[in-house]
Amino acid sequence: MLNTLWTQRALIWAFANRDFKTRYRSSLLGWGWSLLQPLATLIVFAAVFSIVFRVKAPPLGNGQGTSYAAFLFTGIVTWNLFSSFLNLSMSQLKASGDLLKKVQFPGWAPVLGASIVQLVQVGLEIVVLAGLFLWKGNVSWTWILAVPILIGTALFAQGLGLMLAILNARFGDVQYIVTVALGALYFMTPILYPIDLVNQHGHILGWFVKLNPMSWYVQTMHDVMYSLVVPIWWVIPALLAAGLAVFWIGFVVFNRFSEDLGEYL
Amino acid sequence: MSDSARTWNTISAASPGVAVSISGVGKRFKRHTDRRSSLKELMVRGRAQTEEDFWAVRDVSIQIPRGSVYGLIGHNGSGKSTLLKMIGKIYRPTTGTITTDGRVAALIELGAGFHPDMTGRENIGLNGSLLGLQRKEIQQVTEQIIDFSGLREFIDEPVKHYSSGMYVRLGFAVAVNMKPDILIIDEVLAVGDEEFQRKCFDHLYSLRKAGKTIVVVSHGLGQLEGLCDEVAWLEHGRLQSSGYPTDTIAAYLQRVNADESARNPLVVSTRPEDDRAGDGQIRVMSAAIVNSNGDPLNHAETGETFMMRIAFNAAVPVLGPNVRVALQHDSGPLVTMISNHARGFDFGTVQGDYSCDITVPDNPLLPGRYRVHIDVFDFSGSKLLDTWNDAVEFPVRSKSGEIGQGFFQLPAQFRLG
């Protein structure tokens, strides 16, 4: 797999380059737009959940009170990385259909290219998040641990994205199902509420939340970015390994079913 | 896990000297209406029971020698493009195997993959990567491509501002400069202006000289005849014949002409009752195109003797009438006028029904549509006895695929002193 990826690096990069250059080329604010959406979500959700529903965020790692906005944004950034990879993978493969009918190249190349560009967006969001924490004075070396967690999240999302993309290429309604599923999964991930909230109740829903792999990625991000604590030693290696495994599976599945991609896209 | 995805693209040619080896290749498509494209359909109807298959290509075996130019001809939908896409590894053969030796670049469409918002230079990079080049290799050929395309002053502008001609020029320049071992061209030879086309052909010849293999699909039969070393003719997905371009193309055209003959009406025209002119002494009754045996034709062939048969009736004795036939090309110009007086033939005094045959030996008219106007004058040429405009219209077709320039081939002879 690595060998294949390596020989196609120029192509992946060329697609990333294309997407990067054309993404906001004719818009005035350019990349500013890409931050507007998560920021707007943040403001609306922060207002609704902290003021209306009075959800309490756990205490900040520096011991100086809580910040629901910072807690929420940590989760949103991680979630957006996941959901945008899934959606982009599906749409990018569909959009490449025309080209796949005329030129022979691996279908995952444009998908990975688009994801690389999406990482720029994630990076921008991380910068905003870091700024928020700096302002709150909530900084620690545990932030470094966010890097492997985010890499794990990205690999996990990409593996899933590759599988969904190839499925969506055959059955056009997959993307709609994914939209609905993502909507539900969003609320089963401790983004809007702390994980303790479901732990307390012991309801069946709590099990759903705990079994949801995205809960692990998001919760660990909360640990290292917000609470500034180091998770149990095996958690981050496990998240990374899971990400790698899912990516590998996704890649194999994609290649297995992409042989006649040029025909049915 | 390695390249298991497209194993068929890594097989290299078995026998030396063969660039592309196609053996027993078939391609089956599912009828579009029968494709399960939504989950619901799949669940409700289950696996396709009423599978309607369509074989676009069937049992085709071709060996394409290295360093040759190989042409594919056939009707639309005969499977040429599908075969080409299989050589280019865009489609996978359903049956049989295709082995290629060397890097394949497929020009199924010029400028495929160009992004309108990116500049010409950026698109060269993307297109190069698509054709399988590494970054360093692309950098090496970029200048060459820009020079070849002749678009240096526009190369840093987004291609959406390019004219369609500029667009395809850049596309062609990229593809042919990618140094492929096997170049696949689908109907894209007619790009750009005359000058650029010549450049393209010169380049194709130089590629061939350099031992590259070119596989080309085109409907420009004359073009193919000059360019190709060998031509294969596909009919309904099957290989009909292959071999020397001239023979194959002639066989193909014979079929096309025969098919058309079966479909097209004979060129015979009877004059409407109400179409009257002149004083009625002579009246042209009908006009037709016939072969030298007098059998009616539906077209004339360049280089093939044919006759125009004009029937007229003289109500009263008429002395030495002059029948003049004007041939007008469909696009407007008058091509020629012929008359029995001009050819020094005197009918003498005529009365009653006549059939006048005008033989055109070794038909010099080039392919096109020709309209026939008939005038009849008296012996002095000063009085118009009858006139029939647009008496009949007939097509001229070519046997060889050569269209030629102008309206007719002067029976000229060359001599070198």
When CB atoms are compared, the residue of A18, A102, A256 closest to B90 is A102
pLDDT > 90 in chain B, percent: 32
Is the pLDDT at A102 greater than 90? The verdict is no
How does pLDDT run across B106-135, given as a tens digit for each residue? 888 777 778 888 899 999 988 888 888 888
DSSP secondary structure string for all residues of B286-349: EEEEEETTS-B-S-EETTS-EEEEEEEEEEEEEES-EEEEEEEETTS-EEEEEETTTTT----E
Do residues B261 and B298 lie in contact, with contact meaning Cβ atoms separated by under 8 Å?
Answer: yes
Mean pLDDT calculated for residue range A192-217 = 84
Give kind and range of the element (H or E) at residue B268.
Answer: strand B268-270
Domains of chain B, each with CATH number or no CATH: 4-259 (3.40.50.300), 268-397 (2.70.50.60)
Q: Is the pLDDT of residue B35 over 70?
A: no
Q: Do A104 and B4 touch (CB under 8 A)?
A: no
**Which amino acid belongs to residue B171?**
G
The pLDDT score that the predictor gives to residue B222 is 82
**Is B12 a residue whose pLDDT tops 80?**
no
User: For A107-140, how does the pLDDT look when each residue is reduced to its tens digit (9 = 90+)?
Assistant: 999 999 999 999 998 998 999 999 999 998 999 9
Q: Which residues of A197-225 are buried (b: 16+ CB within 10 A; e: fewer)?
A: ebeeeeeeebebbeebbbbbbbbbbbbbb
For residues B255 and B197, the model is more confident at B255
- At residue B272, φ and ψ (nearest 5 deg) are -65, 145
Say what the pLDDT of residue B49 is.
46
pLDDT in tens, B310-356: 999 999 999 999 999 999 998 889 999 999 999 888 998 999 999 99
Give the model's confidence band at A175: pLDDT under 50 very low, under 70 low, under 90 confident, else very high.
Answer: very high
Location of structure tokens 């097509």: B395
**Does residue B1 or residue A216 have the better pLDDT?**
A216
Report whether pLDDT(B4) > 50: no
Name the 3-class secondary structure at B24.
Answer: strand
The strands making up B53-65's β-sheet, listed across from edge to edge, are B53-65, B18-30, B95-100
Distance of CA B272 to the CA centre of its chain: 37
Helices (H), B19-79: 39-45
Res. B40: pLDDT tops 70: no
**Per-residue pLDDT at B7:** 37
Calpha distance A140→A149 (Å, rounded): 16
Per the CB < 8 Å rule, is B1 touching A255?
Answer: yes
Does the structure's ipTM exceed the value 0.90?
no
Tokens representing A175 are 């993307």
For chain A, the helix, strand and coil percentages under 3-state DSSP, each to the nearest 5: 75, 0, 25
- Return the structure tokens found at B63: 């060996």
Q: How many residues does chain B have?
A: 417
Tell me the C-alpha distance between B158 and B144, whole Å.
19
Query: Which residue in chain A has the smallest CA separation from B9?
Result: A104
DSSP class of residue A222 equals I
Name the residue facing B126 among A14, A100, A170 (closest C-beta).
A14
Query: Which pLDDT band holds residue A80 (cuts at 50, 70, 90)?
Result: very high
CB contact under 8 A, A170 and B106: no
pLDDT of A223: 94
What residues have CB less than 8 Å from B287, skipping those under 6 apart? B268, B269, B271, B308, B309, B310, B311, B372, B374, B388, B391, B392
- The region that residue B127 occupies, defined by phi over 0 for left and psi between -120 and 50 for alpha, beta otherwise, is alpha
Residue B33 has pLDDT above 60, yes or no: no
Q: Lowest-pLDDT range, A16-25, A84-93, B248-257?
A: A16-25
Q: Model confidence over B60-108: pLDDT tens digits?
A: 999 999 889 999 999 888 899 899 999 988 888 999 999 998 888 888 8
Residue A16: CB partners within 8 Å, gap ≥ 6? A112, A113, A114, A116, A117
- Of B404 and B207, the structure prediction assigns the larger pLDDT to B207
Average pLDDT over residues A11-40: 81
| pLDDT (0 to 100) of residue A126 | 93
Is there a contact between B39 and A99 if contact means CB atoms under 8 Å apart? no
Instruction: Please provide the distance, in angstroms rounded to a whole number, between the alpha carbons at the two ends of chain B.
Output: 72
Read off the pLDDT of residues B180-202 as tens digits, 9 standing for 90 and up: 889 888 876 666 678 888 888 88
| Helical (H) or strand (E) element with A129 | helix A108-136
The answer to whether residue B357 scores a pLDDT higher than 90 is yes
pLDDT band at A57 (very low <50, low <70, confident <90, very high): confident
Q: Are the C-beta atoms of residues A147 and A81 closer than 8 Å to each other?
A: no
CB-nearest to B89 from A10, A104, A263 is A104
What is residue B39's predicted lDDT score, i.e. its pLDDT? 62
When mean pLDDT is compared across A12-16, A106-110, B219-223, B355-359, the lowest value belongs to: B219-223
Q: How many beta-carbon pairs below 8 A join chains A and B?
A: 101
Chain-chain contact of A25 with B130 (C-beta, under 8 angstroms) = no
For β-strands B18-30 and B268-270, DSSP reports them as unpaired
Q: What kind and span of H or E run contains B214?
A: strand B213-217
A15 to chain B, any CB pair closer than 8 A? The answer is: yes
What residue type is assigned to position B307 of the chain? M
Flag whether residue A210 sits within 8 Å of chain B, measured between CB atoms. Answer: no
Structure tokens given for A110: 């444009």
Q: Can you give the residue ranges of every domain in chain A? A: 7-18+29-264
